[in-house]
Chain A
Amino acid sequence: MRPETEGILVAVEGLVVRYGATVALDAIDLTVSEREIVTLIGPNGSGKTSLIRAVLGLVRPNAGTVRLRPSLRIGYVPQSLHIDQTMPLTVRRFLMLAGAGGDGIDRALAEVGAGAVIDRPLQRISGGEFKRTLLARALLREPDLLVLDEPTAGVDVLGQGEFYRLLMRLRDRRRCGVLLVSHDLNLVMAATDQVLCLNRHVCCRGRPEQVTADPAFRSLFGLDAALSLARYEHHHDHVHTDDGVVALSHSTRHG
């Protein structure tokens, strides 16, 4: 990677993660800098969630390094969070568990546009409101880096566009880096600085317009569907000519 480290929040080099005999990630390099939005895309089982978990320190690398800037504060928005119906928990109480006071909670919820749900039970708010609540919780930690795993899963298309615009506003206002996993190709492309297309190894990377023009990306996602709003279909049984593992199955564990 570049010798310069100024403003770099996360530096991943040569990362290998295996689950038993299954290689989930092979020789991954990745950097996330201040005020940069980095998006991971790739088919199911391509290692997106594993890469995020390695950055968060939830998975130990089998090889390679994950370096975080010293005393980096991370705000994490998990892919899903199931709260049992038997636990009485309002949005306010849930946010208080982050260790924040009342004022901070009101402000964080207002910042993500979810102030109205503050006294509702967590089990009775919509998918979009829930994602915003999780984001507000991450913001309460005053993060230098936001890590989001499929933040718009279960959110309708209009809501998705709004969510990405919100992420960009937060990045500008709070000057934090953003690392996110996404399936929503089109929406993500408009709201991201760097795209990493994963299929256990790095398929291709770069600015969104470079990646969408890359033959590896187009073959991985079976495009040209990327330019339409239609759901894309990806091909699992494609063949790779570059080095790295050729993925014939997709049994990678999803966290």
Chain B
Amino acid sequence: MDDFVVRALIGGIGVALVAGPLGCFVVWRRMAYFGETLAHSALLGIALGILLEASVTAAIIVVCLAVSLILVALQRQRRLPTDTLLGILAHASLALGLVAAAFLERVRIDLMSYLFGDILAITWGDIVWVYAGGAMTIGLLVLLWRQLLMVTIHEDLARVEGVPVSAVRLVLMLLFAVVIAVAMKIVGILLMVSLLVIPAAAARRFSTTPTAMAILASVIGCGSVIMGVMGSLTWDVPAGATIVVAATLAFIATVLWPAGAGGRHAAEAS
């Protein structure tokens, strides 16, 4: 197997492992549009990172966190609904990113690779970022799992029971920023949310506990990465998009799976 295929598989699987549990929170908390907004703002991070000659990954994380905090501040105003605010933030940051990218004189950034990902061009340096960020993400998820679930279920109840709700929500935003930054290379800005949402949605029907759903979403994500990279090599099609198509096929299979045959959850429904 070629070296670049090995790197693509290792990097892709690293991202899929953390995207599984985080994608569950996107589904449970109905945050798909929030994820979309952060992904859009990543372009601004890329441009700033190159302009300031800093790490692009770190710049994406900083911009995603800044956008999250601006959203929290705007939500306190209670004048505009959240989806309107997200619509403003997503496209304002994307437009700012495009303008900032145009100011880059010495470097021409390959816009297409950021929009659609370029997993076959992933470097060992990128993979270090994926696994360092991934280890931190998994560590925080395990440590705060109960608190994260409580905040998702009922914030007031969590607060009365002593969960530091604001801090937990901040950690969740940080984790999204990290995952979006490291997943940028794999699927790119436009397909980012699909990597979070589709494996989690596919895992729902066969899970009876939140933990099982998170793990199963990771497994489905890893399978999609493997099928996507292989499919991309076989048919000479874009790898990021093929990964998303593979995940979608997995999701469709779980929808079509006959009731009663599909795990304990489906059995209870009948």
Answer yes or no: are A and B bound together in one complex: yes
A90 contacts chain B at the CB level, 8 A cutoff: yes
Which chain B positions have C-beta within 8 A of A88?
204, 207-210, 212-213, 265
CA distance A255 to B157 in the complex (A): 12
Q: Mark B151-175, 1 if CB is under 8 A from A, else 0.
A: 0111011011100000000000000
Interchain nearest-CB distance for A211 vs B (Å): 28
| In-complex Cβ contact of B146 among A58, A78, A81, A99 (8 A) | A99
- Judge whether B161 and A56 touch: CB under 8 Å: no
- Judge whether A97 and B28 touch: CB under 8 Å: no
Given A97-B150, A141-B161: A84 in contact with B208 (beta carbons within 8 A): no
CA distance A97 to B152 in the complex (A): 12
| In-complex Cβ contact of A97 among B29, B153, B265 (8 A) | B153
A141 (CB) vs chain B CBs: closest residue: B161
Which chain A positions have C-beta within 8 A of B210?
87-89, 93
A230 contacts chain B at the CB level, 8 A cutoff: no
B27 contacts chain A at the CB level, 8 A cutoff: yes
B96 contacts chain A at the CB level, 8 A cutoff: no
A-B contact count (CB 8 A): 63
If over half of A's interface residues share one DSSP class (helix, strand or loop), that class is named, otherwise mixed; here it is loop
CA distance A158 to B161 in the complex (A): 31
- Judge whether B268 and A121 touch: CB under 8 Å: yes
| In-complex Cβ contact of A81 among B28, B153, B204 (8 A) | B153
A229 contacts chain B at the CB level, 8 A cutoff: no
Q: Mark A84-114, 1 if CB is under 8 A from B, else 0.
A: 1011111001100111000000000000000
B30 contacts chain A at the CB level, 8 A cutoff: yes
What is the size, in residues, of chain B's interface with A at 8 Å between Cβ atoms? 25
CA distance A87 to B29 in the complex (A): 9
Given A86-B28, A88-B213: A81 in contact with B161 (beta carbons within 8 A): no
Interchain nearest-CB distance for B81 vs A (Å): 16
Which chain B positions have C-beta within 8 A of A116?
none
B149 contacts chain A at the CB level, 8 A cutoff: yes
- Judge whether B149 and A97 touch: CB under 8 Å: yes
Q: Mark B197-239, 1 if CB is under 8 A from A, else 0.
A: 0000100100111101100000000000000000000000000
Given A93-B209, A93-B210: A87 in contact with B154 (beta carbons within 8 A): no
Given A84-B30, A97-B146, A141-B161: A90 in contact with B209 (beta carbons within 8 A): yes
Q: Mark A65-91, 1 if CB is under 8 A from B, else 0.
A: 000000000101010010110111110
Which chain B positions have C-beta within 8 A of A83?
153
- Judge whether A76 and B268 touch: CB under 8 Å: no
Which chain B positions have C-beta within 8 A of A7?
none
B208 (CB) vs chain A CBs: closest residue: A88
A20 (CB) vs chain B CBs: closest residue: B78
| In-complex Cβ contact of A56 among B146, B152, B160, B209 (8 A) | B160
B146 (CB) vs chain A CBs: closest residue: A97
Which chain B positions have C-beta within 8 A of A89?
153, 209-210
CA distance A159 to B234 in the complex (A): 64
A58 (CB) vs chain B CBs: closest residue: B156
A80 (CB) vs chain B CBs: closest residue: B154
Tell me which residues from 71 to 109 in chain B have a Cβ below 8 Å from any Cβ of chain A: none
A57 contacts chain B at the CB level, 8 A cutoff: yes
- Judge whether A98 and B161 touch: CB under 8 Å: yes
Interchain nearest-CB distance for A126 vs B (Å): 16
Interchain nearest-CB distance for B267 vs A (Å): 12
- Judge whether B153 and A58 touch: CB under 8 Å: no
Interchain nearest-CB distance for B74 vs A (Å): 17
CA distance A98 to B263 in the complex (A): 27
| In-complex Cβ contact of B28 among A78, A87, A255 (8 A) | A87
CA distance A132 to B30 in the complex (A): 27
CA distance A93 to B154 in the complex (A): 15
User: Could you pull out 29 A-B pairs where Cβ atoms are within 8 angstroms?
Assistant: A56-B156, A56-B159, A56-B160, A58-B159, A76-B157, A78-B154, A81-B154, A81-B157, A84-B28, A86-B27, A86-B28, A86-B204, A87-B152, A87-B210, A88-B204, A88-B207, A88-B210, A88-B213, A88-B265, A89-B153, A90-B209, A94-B153, A97-B146, A97-B149, A97-B150, A97-B153, A99-B146, A121-B208, A121-B265
Binding site for A on B (CB under 8 A): 27-30, 146, 149-150, 152-154, 156-157, 159-161, 201, 204, 207-210, 212-213, 265, 268
Other than the given A88-B213, A120-B268, 4 more pairs (CB < 8 A) read A89-B210, A90-B208, A98-B161, A121-B265
